[in-house]
Amino acid sequence: MQQCILLSHVFIRDGEKDKIDKVEFALKHWRKYNPNAHIVVTGHGIRPDIGKYCDHIIWPTEIIQKDINVGHPHLVSLGIEYIQQKGFEYVLKSRCDTVHNIKNIVIFAHEQLQDKKMIVTQSTSLEQQVLGDLFLFSSVSLMKKIFNVDNWYPTKTGLTSLANNFLAQCDQPIWKDACLQNLKLIDICKLKWIDFRSNWGTLKNHKDDIMNASLESPHKYYWGVKENWHVWNDRDECIIKLPHVVTEEEWYNPARA
């Protein structure tokens, strides 16, 4: 199948060399693990040297302040528009300062999607109308609709805007029903999602291990662990999480959520 990846959610100001290093190494990893994917990167501010690792870059030099901390809807929308024009049917979206230790992750995600509309992960909730906006996999047409900038503001977080836009695309009027009927939730630990944003001080010394998938105790560096949003042990069990955030165990056994 055609493979398309959209990486986003990073802005770099003058003097933020660590951010440049994170993105450049992340893109090197994305390309190694996804050699046949069409990789699109969106960001703003100082542009890292990533041209040899991706197929298209949308990176204005001016910081788009209204995108920050609310899901980067403008830049994501620009990326999706380009991807749609290129004729891709599906797109996998993640952050460009993180990696997933899964080879050909688009194929993996497509196999997992089955009869659902979209794959999501933490921090998504069944009791609160919030939808994790960082890692997603769906058809390009659905992704374009749920990142509709016209319906995004006012907002304090992209999690609620994305949730509202997604619910509008569902037949079910109740949030929990719409989630269980249309979404496939996969735990972060199964996505092997390593976060450079919060762990670069340690991980920059283990680049070879990350590249070779031989990093010791990778669960310590998964997205959200540093903040105690969702913490996993070495058996892929969630041992700490925010109360409203759901795991696979709760998602597929709603009585426990």
Map 60-126 to HEC letters.
Answer: CCCCCHHHCCCCCHHHHHHHHHHHHHCCCCEEEEEECCEEECCCCHHHHHHHHHCCCCEEECCCCEC
Determine the pLDDT at residue 193: 98
Determine the pLDDT at residue 107: 98
Determine the pLDDT at residue 62: 97
Please, what sign has the CA dihedral across residues 213, 215, 219, 220?
Answer: negative
Q: Which residue segments constitute the domains of the chain, with CATH numbers given? A: 4-193 (3.90.550.10)
Which residue, chain included where needed, has tokens 């949308």? 58
Q: What is the pLDDT along the chain (257 residues), one digit of tens a residue?
A: 899 999 999 999 999 999 999 999 999 999 999 999 999 999 999 999 999 999 999 999 999 999 999 999 999 999 999 999 999 999 999 999 999 999 999 999 999 999 999 999 999 999 999 999 999 999 999 999 999 999 999 999 999 999 999 999 999 999 999 999 999 999 999 999 999 999 999 999 999 999 999 999 999 999 999 999 999 999 999 999 999 999 999 999 865 55
Determine the pLDDT at residue 257: 53
Give CA–CA dist 124/136, Å, rounded. Answer: 11
User: Is 84 within 8 Å of 142 (Cβ atoms)?
Assistant: no
Give CA–CA dist 209/220, Å, rounded. Answer: 14
Single-letter code of the amino acid located at 122: Q
pTM of the model: 0.97
228 burial via Cβ count (<10 Å: 0-12, 13-18, 19+): exposed
Cα 10 to its chain centre, rounded Å, is 12
Give CA–CA dist 98/167, Å, rounded. Answer: 28
Determine the pLDDT at residue 153: 95
Please, what sign has the CA dihedral across residues 224, 206, 191, 31?
Answer: positive
Which contiguous run of DSSP H or E holds residue 31?
helix 17-33
Cα 136 to its chain centre, rounded Å, is 6
Determine the pLDDT at residue 1: 87
Give CA–CA dist 188/177, Å, rounded. Answer: 22
User: Is 246 within 8 Å of 124 (Cβ atoms)?
Assistant: yes
